[in-house]
Amino acid sequence: MIAAGVPIEERFSRPSVMGIVNVTPDSFSDGGANLDPDDAVSTARRMLEEGAAIVDVGGESTRPGATAVSLGEELRRVIPALEGLAGLPVSIDTSKADVARRALELGAELVNDVTALRGDPALADVVAESGAYLCLVHMRGTPRTMQTDPRYEDVVSEVAAFLEERLRFAVSAGVREERICLDPGIGFGKSVRHNLELLHRLGELATLGRPLLVGLSRKSVLGRVAGDPGARTGTAAASLGAAVSAFERGAWILRVHDVRGHVEALEVARAVAAAAAGPRSSFAPGSRGVTLELRGLEIPGRHGVEEHELEREQPFLYDLWLQVSDAALSDRIEDAVDYRAVAERVRAVSAGHQYSLLEALAAAVADAVAAEFPVERVRVRVRKPRARPAGLTLEYSAATVERAPGDWERGSRPHALVRSVQTDHGQSPRS
């Protein structure tokens, strides 16, 4: 089931729903409901019919206070369900390498690890070797202890620093960055206030540059906000409100129990966002045609706001995604977009003007490609790899712009993304 080479943001359109199937006796909300593999399989199939993009099968509860289950017991729970779901889009919610390995062999395409590769030293290799998608989750402590007086100086920057460190770790272990999503871990070692603040400032986590998966569904924070200080769960209605709020703040995938309601609520939220923003991305599964990629096209240029940048060339890296129509599948270069001509056009745009802003440079390239090549849509990312703003170390700064032919006349605007800022003190200031 693993879609080779497709970045996670192309595999899952935004927003996507992940249905929760806990093959456990003790999960905080659906414990026992899907312990029988036949029940798990029919719940999962129903969720997929209702519009879930994937179902997350788990054999170990991670609710506060839960005790760990043995490898044998976890395998006994999930394997029959995974066998019954062969050929369908499945994620495995586990921290154990052996469970993940078996699940991937049975067709799972994503490993959802609430320990963010800290639980089992062998898991990183299993994910890297399989090419599976990976979700890295923030958790303070272990499920048994995590809700005992959790404290943070600034929960958002601490969660961001943790996720950034785990992202680097996963990449250094061989997992491709484009296959990873990040999750703030709602309820994993956080008070009600921490959870709400994380949700409110979710956009700051989006600056890490990876899609965000968020699990709020039926969690106790919702019941507590609704007025019951001892609540262990929240309602389905509260979950929908929270999911829409998370989507509006940047969430990409929502992990939920009540699929149909979430799909409907998020569809409305998506339509509202699309109406506000004008023409939007159609780089999504299900869109017709083919996406061509040119990655890391290096062209030196004199762009920037500092004087030395205008005087001396520095490298700029261009990534282009070109959505072309089925007509380009005739296997004749005359019908297709010729990479060489596109690369030459990018070089000419760069040479033709000195741009102060990466956004302007990316927009100029995107406008030129959308106007002059037979594309349905183009996304251009321009990266400046060696910038050192105010003495800080920056892995790169980048601007991403999408255009369809004629978009610029309708006034669509570029958006910029600045990622992985590290000070000399190793902290991560976020804008």
* CB of 242 closer than 8 Å to CB of 216: yes
Indicate the residue among 24 and 281 with the shorter CB distance to ligand HH2: 24
CA 164 to centroid of chain Cα atoms = 13
For ligand HH2, which is the closer residue by CB, 24 or 350? 24
- CB within 8 Å of 312: residues ≥ 6 apart: 302
Q: Let me know the angle formed at the C-alpha of 376 by 374 and 377, rounded to the nearest 5 degrees.
A: 115
Q: Which C-beta is closer to ligand HH2: that of 114 or that of 349?
A: 114
Catalytic residue among 11, 101, 218, 255: 255
Degrees to nearest 5, angle at CA 370 with 366 and 373 = 125
As measured in angstroms, the least distance from the Cβ of 141 to ligand HH2 is: 15
Minimum distance of ligand HH2 from residue 38's CB (angstroms): 19
Check: CB of residue 167 under 8 Å from CB of residue 142.
Answer: no
State in angstroms the smallest separation of the CB of 101 from ligand HH2.
Answer: 19
What are the strands, taking DSSP E only, across 159-215?
Answer: 180-183, 212-214
Least distance to ligand HH2 from the beta carbon of 336, Å? 40
Minimal distance, residue 162 CB to ligand HH2, in Å: 14
C-beta of 185 vs 211, nearer to ligand HH2? 185
Return residues touching ligand HH2 (CB under 6 A): 20, 22, 24, 27-29, 58, 61-63, 93, 112, 114, 135, 137, 183, 185-186, 213, 215, 255
Question: Is 102 among the catalytic positions?
Answer: no
Least separation in angstroms between CB 364 and ligand HH2: 39
Q: Which residues are CB-neighbours of 7 under 8 A, at least 6 positions away? A: 178, 179
Angle at 316 (CA atoms; ends 375, 388), nearest 5 degrees: 140
Distances (CA, A) of 419 to 55, 210, 297, 339, 390: 30, 10, 19, 28, 15
Q: Tell me, what amino acid is at 414?
A: P
Other beta carbons within 10 angstroms of residue 311's beta carbon come to 8
Question: Which of 79, 136 has the CB closer to ligand HH2?
Answer: 136
Give the residue closest to ligand HH2 by C-beta.
Answer: 215
Cβ closest to ligand HH2, residue 137 vs residue 299: 137
Contact 351, 362 (CB under 8 A): no
The single residue of 219, 224, 377, 430 carrying the catalytic annotation is 219
User: Which DSSP state fits 112?
Assistant: E
Residue 145 CB neighbours (<10 A): 13
45 given a catalytic annotation: no
Residue 179 phi, psi (nearest 5): -100, 10
Residue labelled with tokens 């309820």: 187
Nearer to ligand HH2, 253 or 324 (CB): 253
Closest CB 61 distance from ligand HH2, rounded Å: 4
Residues assigned a catalytic role: 219, 255
